[in-house]
Amino acid sequence: MERSMRQIGCFLLFLCLLASALDARAEDRARAKELFLQGETLYKLGRFAQALEAYSQAYKAAPLPGFLFNIGQCHRQLGDFEQAIFFFRGYLREKPKASNRQVVEALIVESQQAQAAKEAEKKRQAELDREQAERARQLAEQEKQRKRELELARIRQQEKQRELELEKARLAALTASQEKNNTEPAFYETWWFWTVVGVVVVGAAAGGTVWGLSGEDVVLPSGSLGTLDRRGL
C-alpha cells in the first residue's frame, strides 16, 4: 500500500512537472510568436537590423528552423553575406526536407557571388588605397625635396650676399685709401722738401767759394781784371 502511494506521488509529481514544462513551453512559444510578428513588421519596413534582433530573440525562445531562414534573410539584406550563407545552411541542416529548399539554395549561391564581388571590391579598394598612399608619399617626398632645395638656394643667396657685402666693403676701403693719397701733396711739393733743397744748395754754394779760394788763381767777382797771381799780391 505504501509502495503504491509512493508511485502515485511520483506520477503526480511528473504530471506537475510536465504541466509546468508545457506551460513554460507554451509561454516561450507565445513569446517567440510575438517576436516573430515584430520581426515581420520590422523586416517589411526595411529596418533589417531591428528585425534581425527580433528573429534572434524569437529563436532563443523557441528554436524553430524557420527563424534561421529569417535571420539569414536579414543578414543578406544588411550585406553580411557570410552570415547569410551560414544561417541558410543551418536552416537546411535542421530542415532538410524544407519545401523552399531550392529557393534557399539559390539564395546561398547568390550570397556566395555577392560575397565574392564584395571581396573583389574590397581588394580593389585596398589596391586603390595603396596607390593613393604611394602617390601621397611621393608627393610628400617631392615637397620635402623642394623645401630642401629652397633652403639650399636661400643659404647660397645669403652667402653670395655676404660675399658681395665684403667685396663692397673692400672696394669702399680701397677707394677711401686712394682718395686719401690723392688729397696728400707729393713729397716734392711739401715745404720740408724745398727747405732741405735750399739748405743743400746754400751749402753747395759755400763749399764752392771755399774751394775756389784754395786754388792757385783767384777770379775776381767782376771778372774784368783777368787772373791775378797770388804771389804778386
The number of C-alpha atoms within 13 Å of 125 and in the hemisphere containing its C-beta is: 6
Is residue 194 scored above 70 in pLDDT? Answer: no
Per the domain annotation, does 52 fall within a domain?
A: yes
Of residues 210 and 94, more confidently modeled: 94
Mean pLDDT is highest, among 110-114, 148-152, 160-164, for 110-114
Question: DSSP secondary structure string, 165-191?
Answer: HHHHHHHHHHHHHHHHHHHSPPGGGSH
The per-residue pLDDT for range 117-150, each reduced to its tens digit, is 999 999 999 999 999 999 999 999 999 999 999 9
Q: Tell me if 97 is assigned to some domain.
A: yes
Q: How many domains does the chain have?
A: 1
pLDDT of residue 16: 41
pLDDT on residue 188: 58
Determine the pLDDT at residue 178: 80
Would 95 be classed as within a structural domain? yes
Specify if 7 maps to a domain.
no
Is 133 a member of any domain?
Answer: no
Helix, strand, coil abundance in the chain, percent, nearest 5? 85, 5, 15
Name the band, by pLDDT with cuts 50, 70 and 90, for residue 35. very high
pLDDT of res. 179: 77
- Residue 213 resides in a domain: no
Bigger pLDDT: 166 or 195?
Answer: 166
More confident residue, 43 or 224: 43
38: in domain: yes
**CA atoms of 167 and 173, how far apart (whole Å):** 10
The whole-number average pLDDT for the span 54-65 is 95
Residue 78 covered by a domain: yes
Radius of gyration of the chain (CA): 64
Q: How far apart are CA 67 and CA 43, in angstroms?
A: 13
Domain that holds residue 30: 26-119
Question: Torsion angle of alpha carbons 95, 100, 104, 110, nearest 10°?
Answer: 170
The CATH number for 84's domain is: 1.25.40.10
